[in-house]
């Protein structure tokens, strides 16, 4: 049995035990296998491993920054609700369509 397949199954079991709702797709499992295969290939070279870790940390920090800038569904719903209340109360200012493009 392929070690990467076993590892992917372990990830699914571990995720289930920790009640993570996200289920790994076949594509995600394949990408995990490729990632760990590449890491195994360079595992004997400390310099390459350090380079890989730095790159992965940079990618992770970019994703974290992107995620922090995203509005949650609850925040979006609250913004829409507040906007609807303002419109119902007449608390809004009309804008000419041509002014939207300026």
Q: Are the beta carbons of 5 and 36 closer than 8 angstroms?
A: no
Position 40 scores a pLDDT of: 92
Q: Are the beta carbons of 7 and 36 closer than 8 angstroms?
A: yes
Tens of pLDDT, residues 22-72:
567 888 888 989 999 999 999 999 999 999 999 999 999 888 888 777 777
Averaged pLDDT of the chain: 78
Enumerate helices (H) and strands (E) in the chain, giving the number of each: 4, 0
Q: Is the pLDDT of residue 20 over 70?
A: no
Structure-block tokens of residue 73:
């569904």
């Amino acid at each position: 049995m392929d070690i990467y397949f076993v590892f992917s199954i372990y990830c699914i079991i571990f995720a289930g035990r920790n009640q993570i709702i996200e289920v790994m797709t076949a594509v995600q499992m394949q990408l995990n296998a490729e990632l760990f295969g590449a890491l195994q290939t360079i595992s004997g070279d400390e310099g390459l491993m350090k380079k890989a870790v730095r790159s992965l940390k940079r990618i992770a920090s970019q994703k974290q920054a992107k995620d922090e800038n995203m509005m949650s569904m609850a925040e979006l719903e609250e913004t829409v609700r507040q906007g609807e209340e303002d419109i119902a109360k007449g608390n809004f200012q009309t804008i000419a369509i041509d002014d939207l493009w300026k």
